[in-house]
Amino acid sequence: MGDGSGDRRGRLDPADWESFRRHGHALFDRLIDQLQGVADGPVWRPVPVDVIQRLAIPCPDRPAGLGDLLADLEETILPYGAGNTHPRFWGWVHGSGTPGGVLAEMAAAALNANCGGRDHAAIYVERLVVDWVKEWFGFPDEAGGLLVGGTSMANLLGLAVARTRHCGEAVRSDGLAGRRLTAYASAEVHMSSAKAFELMGLGHQALRKVAVDGAYRMDMAALAAAVERDRRQGMSPFAVIASVGTVNTGAIDPLPALADFCRDQGLWLHVDGAFGALLALAPELAPRLAGIERADSLAFDFHKWLHVPYDAACLLVRDGALQKATFAGRPDYLAAAGGLAGGEPWPCDLGFELSRGFKALKVWFTIREQGTDRLGASIAANCAQARVLERLVTNSPRLEMLTPVSLNIVCCRYRVAGWDDERLDRLNANLVAQLHLRGIAAPSTCRIGGKLAVRVCITNHRSHDDDFAVLARAMEEIGGELARDAL
């Protein structure tokens, strides 16, 4: 059978395994050095022009030496990350990753499992992870679940199952055939749902944006009126999308009222819980999710608040049989059979993708390495840190909150007496860019009531309370500089 070396070497395997191992160990140490020392560096630095030029080589027809290749990796790529492993990265909604995630991903790459189906350990690991997650959210045993790349995909697949429920399975062969389906979400819903409506051929106008209350939660009266109006006009409402953790303010739509409404109206309740759903792991915050166990489908990310390396997300569907009825179907060459061709049910029958990487391994590894108590405590700590920053802002004569904190997001800005919003918007946009360029902190921006906010979204297990003091001080100082420059 060969001795695993010499003539049994694959054409793309290393010519010198020992040299390969030495390089691999050195790379591993270099990567862990970077993670261990991340707080010592800037949160972000621009990619220098000469580095961009060095990267942009013509496609190589000959092999690079491994040493040269790793030098390029270490000099042109590794120093120029987006910054989301740093304690003062709070932009958009990013996870921080973990060193354990590095171990899981190297193992997944070596195993190189295709989790579309077949009978191998990776399939059992994915099922186990899905079973754990069902428990987190009170979903029944017969619920279906699937790991995907992000909540965008999980939303799309959940809405596709909702469409099957509404239209019947014939929609798979016959398509929409002129049906005028509509669904409903709050005005604060993430754009990924609108993109799902576009891809599904429904058009984003079919996703009705419902007004929100003062806390940015869907207004139930406005929802009822919208559904009633659409029914009267011959539209065919089929689903409501509840946001659990909106991107601007972390608002959570009223789940019990939505579950009641959907039950009474015969509508599918899909929950977009991209980051917010993981509040389920923090006992002091989980009560805010009351009602989530009544959702028909639920989408959320592991790569945000669980800090699993990018990318990994999950879809749960209460009616697992309907999920399968929406996606299942395999041609001859994938037919179930004995041996390796066993292992039913195959994950590819539960979603859209056929070739699928072993995302479940990094999720399994993270949950086992950390345990849900510590994962939940890290989430709760981030929400407490939002209050810390809120106090710093409120106590500063130069800073102001644009909306109260409800979860883990702080929307604030530098203020200058007598300036109108347009001038303040410009100043605060520059302020955020300066925080990036100086490597101090990485918040992002959004609009609250039309005003540009410095948006600090805390999904970061490396942030400490004093990091927020650094931010507040830097905002005061740089804001002051910019205000003086503008005079």
479 binds a second copy (CB under 8 A): no
- In 3-state terms, what secondary structure has residue 15? coil
201 binds a second copy (CB under 8 A): yes
**Which of 19, 67, 71, 135 touches a second copy (CB under 8 A)?**
135
187 binds a second copy (CB under 8 A): no
Residues within window 47-76 making contact with a second copy, judged by CB under 8 A: 47, 51-52, 55-64, 66, 69-70, 72-73, 76
**Which of 138, 172, 220, 324 touches a second copy (CB under 8 A)?**
172
**Which of 176, 290, 384, 486 touches a second copy (CB under 8 A)?**
176
Nearer to a second copy among residue 265 and residue 372 (C-beta): 372
96 binds a second copy (CB under 8 A): yes
Q: Residue 401 has which token pair?
A: 């909150």
CA–CA gap between residue 385 and residue 176 (Å, rounded): 47
CA–CA gap between residue 447 and residue 430 (Å, rounded): 15
203 binds a second copy (CB under 8 A): yes
Nearer to a second copy among residue 259 and residue 281 (C-beta): 281
**Which of 234, 287, 338, 397 touches a second copy (CB under 8 A)?**
338
325 binds a second copy (CB under 8 A): no
CA–CA gap between residue 101 and residue 306 (Å, rounded): 11
Residue 394: CB minimum distance to a second copy, A? 23
Strand pairing category for 442-448 and 89-90: parallel
Render 413-439 in DSSP notation, one character per residue.
EE--TT--HHHHHHHHHHHHHHHHHTT
140 binds a second copy (CB under 8 A): no
Residues within window 260-299 making contact with a second copy, judged by CB under 8 A: none
Q: Dihedral angle at the C-alpha atoms of 311, 317, 320, 326, nearest 10 degrees?
A: -80
- In 3-state terms, what secondary structure has residue 360? helix
Nearer to a second copy among residue 153 and residue 259 (C-beta): 153
153 binds a second copy (CB under 8 A): yes
Q: Count CB atoms within 10 A of the CB of residue 317.
A: 31
Of the candidates 31, 35, 100, 36, which has an alpha carbon nearest to the alpha carbon of residue 366? 100
Of the candidates 288, 234, 292, which has an alpha carbon nearest to the alpha carbon of residue 262? 292
**Which of 292, 315, 361, 383 touches a second copy (CB under 8 A)?**
361
Residue 240 and residue 183 in contact, taking contact as beta carbons nearer than 8 Å: yes
Nearer to a second copy among residue 227 and residue 306 (C-beta): 306
160 binds a second copy (CB under 8 A): yes
Q: Binding segment for a second copy among 44-52, 138-146, 399-407, 415-423 (CB under 8 A)?
A: 44-52
44 binds a second copy (CB under 8 A): yes
235 binds a second copy (CB under 8 A): no
Residues within window 113-132 making contact with a second copy, judged by CB under 8 A: 113-115, 118-122, 124-125, 128, 132
Number of amino acids touching a second copy (CB under 8 A): 191
Sign of CA dihedral 408, 409, 414, 417: negative
**Which of 16, 19, 25, 384 touches a second copy (CB under 8 A)?**
25
Strand pairing category for 313-317 and 144-148: antiparallel
Q: Residue 167 has which token pair?
A: 């239209």
> 210 has which bridge partners?
186
Q: Binding segment for a second copy among 91-99, 208-216, 224-232, 315-323 (CB under 8 A)?
A: 91-99
**Which of 199, 211, 221, 290 touches a second copy (CB under 8 A)?**
199
Tell me the backbone φ, ψ of residue 93, rounded to 5 degrees.
-135, 95
Cα-based distances in Å from 91 to 83, 275, 457: 9, 14, 6
CA–CA gap between residue 455 and residue 248 (Å, rounded): 8
> DSSP state, 60?
P
Residues within window 385-414 making contact with a second copy, judged by CB under 8 A: none
Residue 129: CB minimum distance to a second copy, A? 9
346 binds a second copy (CB under 8 A): no
CA–CA gap between residue 478 and residue 429 (Å, rounded): 12
Residue 244: CB minimum distance to a second copy, A? 17
